[in-house]
Amino acid sequence: MIRVAICDDHQIVRAGFKQIFSASDEFSVVAEGSTGREALDIARREICDVLLLDIAMPDQSGIDTLRTIRQGQPDLPVLILSGYPAQQYALNLFKMGANGYLNKECEADELITAVRTVYQGRRYVSSQVGELLAQSFDRDPNTALHTELSDREFQVFLRLARGATVSDIGTALSLSIKTVSTYRTRIMEKMGLQSNSDLTYYAMKNNLLD
């Protein structure tokens, strides 16, 4: 039996996935979590064979949670759940050690296939993510990382690089702190950077600061 843990901040999502797994004797949902910290606790307790991890959590992102899990539990199969388009996060999450990436609106059969696949020690790559991987190989290596950002992401990127806080940026752009934090996470993932200091260094190196 495959022991599954589900970490998502929406109870209705967890309930939906539990219902799918309950239809088969092959799976057992052994734990649930609604925050990044709860996901880390589940991972550390080593009570599951596969961890389903939401990318957007209230206390810390699934991205940061995955990074921490990989430091302590490098072999735990982690299947990322997301409501975002695959092109925003999937490739970078695979680079960080995710075993698979699923949109929350996937069909039940795809969820079951994905869990089985990562449980067997393989990566689950959907057709959409596979296409993105192929495109990444064709991308011009000389393309500047910041050109992959949207206009709003680039605005946030420049302010972060200049040392502005999330609160300051929210005020300047009339955005909530949560929205700015989401933009920051997306920028880091698209550019493959880890911290605000990395953003500043990149901006200075590419003559993007006044």
pLDDT at residue 143 tops 70: no
pLDDT at 125: 82
Query: Which of the listed residues 98, 118, 137 is the one where a domain comes to its end?
Result: 137
pLDDT tens track for 191-203: 888 888 889 988 8
Proportion of the chain above pLDDT 70, given as a percent:
89
String of DSSP letters for 116-170: HHHHTT--B--HHHHHHHHHHHHS-TTS-GGGGS-HHHHHHHHHHHTT--HHHHH
- Domain total in the chain: 2
User: Which helix (H) or strand (E) element contains residue 8?
Assistant: none
Residues 125 and 156 both lie in one domain: no
pLDDT at residue 45 tops 60: yes
Q: What is the CATH number of the domain that holds 84?
A: 3.40.50.2300
Please name which of 118, 125, 81 lies closest in space to residue 103, comparing C-alpha atoms.
81
68 is a domain residue: yes
Question: From CA 79, how far away is CA 204, in angstroms rounded?
Answer: 36
pLDDT at residue 131 tops 80: no
Residues 66 and 152 both lie in one domain: no
Residues 81 and 106 both lie in one domain: yes
Query: Which of the listed residues 86, 114, 137 is the one where a domain comes to its end?
Result: 137
pLDDT at residue 133 tops 80: no
pLDDT at 185: 93
Please name which of 120, 69, 135 lies closest in space to residue 96, comparing C-alpha atoms.
69
pLDDT at residue 48 tops 70: yes
Residues of the domain holding 59: 2-137
Query: Which of the listed residues 90, 111, 137 is the one where a domain comes to its end?
Result: 137
pLDDT level of residue 18 (50, 70, 90 thresholds): very high
Q: Could you tell me the two tokens for 206?
A: 């590419």
Residues 125 and 76 both lie in one domain: yes
Residues 61 and 129 both lie in one domain: yes
The mean pLDDT of the chain is 88
pLDDT at 156: 94
Q: Could you tell me the two tokens for 55?
A: 């990318």
String of DSSP letters for 67-100: HHHHHH-TTS-EEEEESS-HHHHHHHHHHTT-SE
